A and B are shown apart, each in its own frame.
Chain A
Amino acid sequence: MFLLKCNKLTLGYNNKDILHSFDYGIHSGEYLCIIGRNGCGKTTFLRGLAGVLRPKSGKIELCDNLRRNQIGYLPQITIAQKDFPASVEEIVLSAFQGKSLLLPFYGKALRKRANECLELTRTENLRKESFRELSGGQKQRVLLARALCAAERLLLLDEPVTGLDPESSQNMYNIIKDLHEYKNMTIVMVTHDIDAARNNSTRILNFNELMQ
């Protein structure tokens, strides 16, 4: 069953089209890896799916009762975030901002959910720590927890292991795999790590072939 379908989707910036009239479907419960060389539109595609970038034409259809607020997005970390003075808790809770216009305080239910997501990514002991003092792997896991708070059914991950050492990468892959297997989460991951894509995913989408 399809969870999400792209119909003649065209994405791009200003005058430049990066994806042109693209048809594709993402199945419920799959672990899809997107590979391809730099600049071929993997991140752009993910931004389109996440709703950060509006389609120039065509559309993204949500199927199987999927709602926008059940999709979690893990963007690539920016330089500005690396020394950002914020506690892990503040960052994870910020995922709930889409739920209402005015949210001066976070209620008990939201805090509980945030804690669950931190546990799932094995970062519950970092709750009070400052984000800028975490290691690269811890930072990525915290951002994954934030994406989980916003997501219930679909996770969009943009190069989640970039810049991580082999151990942290493996750790991250294990967490993602657990989410896929035990939490029944549909995963779409952009990666350059072809071995990991082969080992973990249920399907691979190669953007290099697509562009030719």
Chain B
Amino acid sequence: MLDKLFFYLDFPFVRYAIIVGTLISLCSSLLGITLVLKRYSYIGDGLSHVAFGALAIAAVLKVTNNMFIILPVTIAVAILLLCGSKDSRSGIQIKGDAAIAMVSAGALAIGYLLMNIFSSSANVAGDVCTTLFGSMSILTLKPTDVYLCVILSAIVLVTFALFYHKIFAITFDENFTRATGVNVNAFNLLIAIIIAAIIVLAMNLVGALLVSALVVFPALSAMRVFKSFFTVTVAAAVISIVCSLTGIIIAILAGTPVGSTIVAADIVAFFICYTTSFIRCRRA
């Protein structure tokens, strides 16, 4: 077993997959806490569908690096959904909820339509399945993809560390933070851009349909057990990295699809945390 693992670790593409997987899961778990606590979990899901639609457009236009289309489109939609309501009295509520459903299903349909009409390969179903569920795309990363991922995650991590307290204040109480004189709109914009970037990155790892699992699960698991924002943040990051590494290694050894194996590991972690909190409640 271990021999097999070390044998695989000799291949650069396996090392790339592990580096990229760790970074993406770290970034997504950090921002996932904010999304979950602001009740915006579904925006993550909607955005990943938008990224899928953008990917189809990029494929039709035959651009050399599809990131140049996917990233701006997803960021634009993220800003629209997350910073849409102007008066901030209630943030996004009923209207926003319907808007997300519309955008996410619409983008998915248009994406599939475009891929079918302008298909360049014989195996459309296979291509679509790969983008939706990630399949093995993480094991076919080129060095440029890895560099891009490392740079983007570094930006995300530095931004998060610098503005950690601001992000906490805005997540907990947007109105109060606005009253203390913080430029909340600017930070919401920043958060929206970062979230879009993370989702586009994460699409490489687990595929468009499973991205929201990567964003939501670690945060929810950590929130079961830990009580302060700081410990929840650290725990979510650790849980996310451990699950992703476990998922990738199992996928390599057992030949299962990478994305769904990672999500399965996240589900297991959630149940462990849930049981822990349940037992603790019983004892108390």
Contact = CB atoms under 8 A, between A and B. Distances in A.
Interface of A, helix, strand, loop or mixed by DSSP = helix
A202 interface: no
Nearest to A12: B87
A13 B86 CA distance: 9
Nearest to A149: B180
B181 A103 contact: no
Interface string A87-126: 1001101111111001110000000000000000000000
B172 A86 contact: yes
Given A75-B175, A87-B227, A130-B227, A97 B169 contact: yes
B179 A104 contact: no
A153 interface: no
Interface stretch (A25-33, A66-74, A163-171, A192-200): A66-74
Interface residues of A, number: 37
B68 interface: no
Given A69-B181, A97-B180, A86 B229 contact: yes
A49 to B, nearest CB: 9
A71 B180 CA distance: 8
A84 B226 CA distance: 11
A154 to B, nearest CB: 11
A14 B176 CA distance: 21
Nearest to A150: B180
A77 B172 CA distance: 10
Contacts of B146: none
A47 B168 CA distance: 21
A87 B226 CA distance: 10
Given A84-B37, A90-B168, A104-B165, A71 B228 contact: no
Contacts of A146: 176
Contacts of B162: 102, 104
Contacts, number: 92
Contacts of B88: 52
Contacts of A68: 181
B39 interface: yes
A14 B86 contact: yes
B227 A85 contact: yes
A150 B179 contact: yes
B173 A81 contact: yes
A94 B232 contact: no
A78 B89 CA distance: 11
A96 B37 CA distance: 21
Residue of B38, B164, B229 ringed by the most chain A CB atoms within 10 A: B229
B178 A94 contact: no
Contact of A85 (B38, B87, B226): B226
A80 interface: yes
B20 interface: no
B228 A130 contact: yes
Given A13-B89, A97-B166, A80 B37 contact: yes
A81 B172 contact: yes
Interface in B195-236: 223, 226-230, 232
A133 interface: yes
Contacts of B141: none
A83 B38 CA distance: 11
B182 interface: yes
Interface in B150-177: 161-162, 164-166, 168-169, 172-173, 175-177
Nearest to A86: B229
Nearest to A74: B176
Nearest to A76: B175
A96 B165 CA distance: 10
A73 B177 CA distance: 10
B176 A75 contact: yes
A147 B176 CA distance: 8
Interface string B24-39: 0000000000000111
Interface of A: 13-14, 47, 50-53, 68-69, 71, 73, 75, 78, 80-81, 84-87, 90-91, 93-99, 102-104, 130, 132-133, 146-147, 150
10 contacts: A73-B176, A75-B173, A85-B229, A86-B229, A87-B229, A90-B168, A95-B176, A103-B165, A104-B162, A146-B176
Interface of B: 37-39, 86-89, 161-162, 164-166, 168-169, 172-173, 175-182, 223, 226-230, 232
